[in-house]
């Protein structure tokens, strides 16, 4: 029978069903690198403070390093009876170096230990996500720059609304993913707080140096309240919330790629490398990658709701319910991390059909607003101009023509203010180029936005060492 580290108070062995039910090693084993990193720092601090001897600390650190190599190599055998990654490593350390291993847990609890492990994991994962988002935004900006001359319909209610540059449409996603980058980077401040030293809930009577431990582990701050430190999972919920918002942005992009690659739109073609076929219909080429991204978004939303529900109404401090946080957190982190490079790769595997986009932008009365603005420029009140153009559109629909395909004589029946110069106003290129206000779709403005994005990315690469 495996001896429990907490077994001193108990006179009966744990029921095998309970043992299996309460074990978390199948999930938290992946935290081993961060658990060992935290243990090494804690050990060095204990030795520095004279709480354990230096020779004991040296043996502990060497033993932990050897155990990490074993786990890295895949030769380490985790014992479910030991419940979790912390106890497995501690027992392995005892088997390797003897009684000195039992001193490692001085001045800490599994409560502050697991909080530390998750924070270290999330710090690394957040930096990885930030790097992925920077790479994605770079690809979007480059793709937009390479297609700066492509005109497409802009939509509201999925109905053609006004002509825009395809590059302008893409840069809208750049802005979404920029906000995502900011959210993760800002969340890093709240992740990078040391909980170790809080012990089970009340702190420790040992003369530890938490600031030194924080320095060893690269934390920017130390938790201010021991009860909060062991029971807080806000940082994990915040990460998952940021992941959910980011996945929502991915789902919007994915949906548009699914639509645009359909025969009905024909705006883009995804390469064979990111598409699949049908087991029964030989002609099919399916946009499975964006569809899967769209579907995986729901998983991350569920992970967020699960974490919020898990933490709802939990009294202070640690409760065993919190063991379930890692299933949800890991799934959200893994799903987002899988989607990031795949979505970035879509831009390397997408051909843009300039002609199809331009033809769509030229049909559907997308220049109606500009005709109204033209009339306003001639002194007509906007509401009156709006009504005039609405009637003109209705007449054009009845005739099966676009506004710019009506004759000057026909257009004058709706407003005497119409002159021959209106036809120049209604050209899609002119509609676009008039929108030069900051944030608009004019080519000059979009070029400036792409240039600003590239400067932004360059600055971030320097900041995050990418």
What pTM was computed for the model? 0.93
pLDDT on residue 7 = 58
Return the H-helix or E-strand segment holding 245.
helix 234-260
pLDDT on residue 1 = 42
278 is catalytic: yes
* DSSP-assigned beta bridge partners for residue 282: none
Q: Report whether CATH 1.10.40.30 matches the domain 364-463.
A: yes
Q: Report whether CATH 1.10.275.10 matches the domain 16-103.
A: yes
Query: 272: which 2 tokens?
Result: 């064979």
Task: Evaluate if residue 367 carries a pLDDT over 70.
Answer: yes
Q: Is the peptide bond before 317 cis (omega within 30 degrees of 0)?
A: yes
Task: Evaluate if residue 164 carries a pLDDT over 50.
Answer: yes
Mean pLDDT for the stretch of residues 247-267:
97
Mean pLDDT for the stretch of residues 191-208:
98
pLDDT tens track for 49-68: 999 999 999 999 999 999 99
pLDDT tens track for 398-455: 999 999 999 999 999 999 999 999 999 999 999 999 999 999 999 999 999 999 999 9
For every residue of 147-216, DSSP letters joined together read TTT-EEEEEETTEEEEEEEHHHHHHHHHHHHHHHHHHHHHHHHHHSEE-TT-TTTT--SS---HHHHHHH
Write down the catalytic residue from 24, 105, 147, 157: 157
Q: Where are the domains of the chain?
A: 16-103, 110-207+220-360, 364-463
- The residues, ordered by sequence, that sit 6+ positions from 91 with a Cβ below 8 Å of its Cβ are 2, 5, 79, 82
CATH fold label, 110-207+220-360 = Fumarase C; Chain A, domain 2 (1.20.200)
Write down the catalytic residue from 22, 105, 128, 278: 278
């Amino acid at each position: 029978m495996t001896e429990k580290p907490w077994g001193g108070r108990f006179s009966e062995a744990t029921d095998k069903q309970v043992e299996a039910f309460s074990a978390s090693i199948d999930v938290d084993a992946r935290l081993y690198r961060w658990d060992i990193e935290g243990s090494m720092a804690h050990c060095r601090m204990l030795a520095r403070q004279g709480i354990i001897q230096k020779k004991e600390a040296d043996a502990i650190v060497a033993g932990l390093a050897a155990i990490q190599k074993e786990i890295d190599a895949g030769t380490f055998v985790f014992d479910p009876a030991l419940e979790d990654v912390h106890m497995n490593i501690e027992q392995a350390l005892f088997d390797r170096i003897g009684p000195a291993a039992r001193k490692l847990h001085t001045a800490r609890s599994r409560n502050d230990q697991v909080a530390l492990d998750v924070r270290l994991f999330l710090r690394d994962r957040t930096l990885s996500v930030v790097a992925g988002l920077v790479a994605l935004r770079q690809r979007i900006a480059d793709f937009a720059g390479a297609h700066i001359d492509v005109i497409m319909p802009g939509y509201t209610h999925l109905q053609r609304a006004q002509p825009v540059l395809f590059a302008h449409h893409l840069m809208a996603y750049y802005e979404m993913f920029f906000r995502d980058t900011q959210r993760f980077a800002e969340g890093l401040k709240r992740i990078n707080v040391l909980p170790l030293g809080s012990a089970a809930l009340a702190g420790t009577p040992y003369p530890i140096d938490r600031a030194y431990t924080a320095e060893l582990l690269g934390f920017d701050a130390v938790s201010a309240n021991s009860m909060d430190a062991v029971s807080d999972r806000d940082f994990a919920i915040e990460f998952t919330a940021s992941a959910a918002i980011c996945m929502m942005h991915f789902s919007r992009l994915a949906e548009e790629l699914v639509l645009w690659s359909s025969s009905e739109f024909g705006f883009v073609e995804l390469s064979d490398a990111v598409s699949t076929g049908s087991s029964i219909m030989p002609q099919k080429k399916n946009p499975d990658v964006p569809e899967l991204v769209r579907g995986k978004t729901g998983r991350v939303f569920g992970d967020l709701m699960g974490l919020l529900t898990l933490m709802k109404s939990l009294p202070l401090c640690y409760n065993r319910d919190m063991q379930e946080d890692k299933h949800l957190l890991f799934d959200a982190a893994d799903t987002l991390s899988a989607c990031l490079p795949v979505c970035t790769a879509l831009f390397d595997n997408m051909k843009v059909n300039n002609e199809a986009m331009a033809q769509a932008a030229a049909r559907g009365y997308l220049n109606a607003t500009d005709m109204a603005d033209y009339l306003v420029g001639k002194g007509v009140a906007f509401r009156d101009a709006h009504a005039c153009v609405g009637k003109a559109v209705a007449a054009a629909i009845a005739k099966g023509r676009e506004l710019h395909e009506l004759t000057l004589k026909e257009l004058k029946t709706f407003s005497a203010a119409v002159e021959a110069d209106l036809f120049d106003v209604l050209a899609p290129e002119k509609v676009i180029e008039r929108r030069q206000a900051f944030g608009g779709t004019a080519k000059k403005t979009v070029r400036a936005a792409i240039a600003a994005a590239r400067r932004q990315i360059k600055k971030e690469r320097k900041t995050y060492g990418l």
